[in-house]
Structure 1
């Protein structure tokens, strides 16, 4: 039984992920509204980007200096 479920999840991974994301997005639209959902998604994307940068062993201070250059 467990092997069949694992095989189905592996075989249809993209479809399951897409359907889950679609249902989650629809529920967020219903619960929060359009602009709040967009804000939540933008914050999530920014958080993902920053997390990926820190996972790649980039120095936080170097990142901030590159994004926000010092003012003379």
Structure 2
């Protein structure tokens, strides 16, 4: 029974899980030990999570990135 619940959880949150793992592993590849680099790793994980969340919600990632760039450009 627990295996079924785990599979349902993994299927429902696959984008967030994959995005978080990708952010984590990319961050690990780019970083070594240290406080500042650990902060950068955390940012990579958060970005990966949010991209994965967009995939789970079937939102357009390109539109999200364009919106993000436009917000940054207006400052």
Normalising by structure 2, what TM-score? 0.43
Larger Rg: 1
